[in-house]
Amino acid sequence: MRLSILDQVPLTEHAPTAGQALSSGLQLAQDAEALGYHRIWFAEHHHSKSFASAAPEMMTALALERTETIRVGTGAILLPYYQAQKVSEAMGLLAAVYPDRVDIGVGRAALSDPHYAQKIATLVHDLDAVHEPSDTEPAGRVWVLGAGGSTAPLPGMLGAGYVHGHFLRPAGGEPATRAYREAAANAGHAAHTVLAVRFATASTEEKAQALANALLLWRVRKDLGHDGPIPSTATAASHPWNTQELARAEERSKALIVGTPDQVHDRLLALAEEHGADELMLNTLVCDPADRLDAYRLLAESFNA
């Protein structure tokens, strides 16, 4: 099972400025490489008080400069904002400098784009021309991120990879990944299925739950209109949760895998099998970079044991 990382470059109580968050994200790329992760991707968020990366292609370039072997990419470029040619030329430039280390993850979030399918087809066509054929990576190194399932057959038909966002919508992913694989098989393409999962882990269940509570407090606040940095475990522990917040936290916890490394390992493998995924893209949001590094280290060790 290949392990990868999706970094949203969070603002936290520990790193409240964009500069601090961006520096922490770039350090994570180096740490992920040292821990043996297959790839790291950077997300795109605009006008956010929680996340600092508005230009994942720039984060990709900066991370590539600081690493040697790990695959680096976008997770995802929000394609409705851009022309396909601009994306293919920018990412193709990086691929020319860093051969076969650059991934192009694209998505649309809740944005509408009548040309979305054609843009993806253009990216696959243009970027496939700059890469050698690969049995382990999709055509053009293009990946389509989705959560609702309606997009899933498209990358299969085009030979692109598909990443299903379990952490965005934890229920109903199995039909989406199945539709992707069926579309790929019908088109004569190899399927490359990744499951993106959010987790919280530590050496003890108590510490793992404390990290999860802080993450859930951030998510609940965001749901209720109070966007802001990821709180610390101390902030979450002292927070007087009201009934509305507790109900939201219970609902949001369905998209979060929590426990010791062995517990999280077993649940992740089960989810991967249920979705037919051959790779897990992991995301954790914690305040302290040391806790984040520990989480990724402990999980990597559990898979390598």
> What's this model's pTM, rounded to 2 decimal places?
0.97
CA-based nearest residue to 130, from 109, 167, 102, 111: 102
Q: Which residues, including other chains, have CB under 8 Å from residue 242's CB and lie 6 or more apart?
A: none
Domain annotation covers residue 126 = yes
Residue 148: predicted pLDDT: 87
pLDDT at 108: 95
Q: Residue 76, preceding bond cis, omega within 30 degrees?
A: yes
pLDDT for 120 equals: 98
pLDDT for the residue numbered 151: 93
**Which has the closest alpha carbon to 230: 26, 11, 46?**
11
Position 232 in a domain: no
Q: Is residue 210 part of a domain?
A: no
pLDDT at residue 215 in the model = 98
Helices 261-275, 289-304: axis angle to 10 degrees equals: 70
Q: Is 33 exposed, middle or buried (0-12, 13-18, 19+ CB in 10 A)?
A: buried
Report if residue 28 sits inside a domain: yes
Distance CA(52)–CA(9), nearest Å, equals: 6
d(C-alpha 92, C-alpha 89), whole Å: 5
CA-derived radius of gyration, the chain:
18
**102: CB partners within 8 A, 6+ apart:** 60, 64, 71, 72, 73, 91, 94, 95, 141
Domain that holds residue 107: 2-202+256-304
Per residue of the chain (305 residues), give pLDDT as tens: 999 999 999 999 999 999 999 999 999 999 999 999 999 999 999 999 999 999 999 999 999 999 999 999 999 999 999 999 999 999 999 999 999 999 999 999 989 999 999 999 999 999 999 998 899 999 999 999 999 888 999 999 999 999 999 999 999 999 999 999 999 999 999 999 999 999 999 999 999 999 999 999 999 999 999 999 999 999 999 999 999 999 999 999 999 999 999 999 999 999 999 999 999 999 999 999 999 999 999 999 999 97
Q: What is the pLDDT of residue 305?
A: 76
Q: Is residue 272 part of a domain?
A: yes
Q: Cα–Cα distance between 221 and 105 in angstroms, integer?
A: 28
Is 124 inside a domain boundary?
A: yes
At 194 the pLDDT is 98
CATH number, domain containing residue 117: 3.20.20.30
- Tokens in use for 118? 């054609």
* Alpha-carbon gap, residue 266 to 67, rounded angstroms: 30
Classify residue 66: in a domain, yes or no. Answer: yes
Tokens of residue 274, six digits: 């249920």
Give the pLDDT score at 149.
80
pLDDT of residue 299: 97
45's CB contacts (< 8 A; 6+ apart) are 8, 51, 53, 54
Q: How far apart, in whole angstroms, are the C-alpha atoms of residue 20 and residue 26? A: 10
> How many domains are contained in the chain?
1
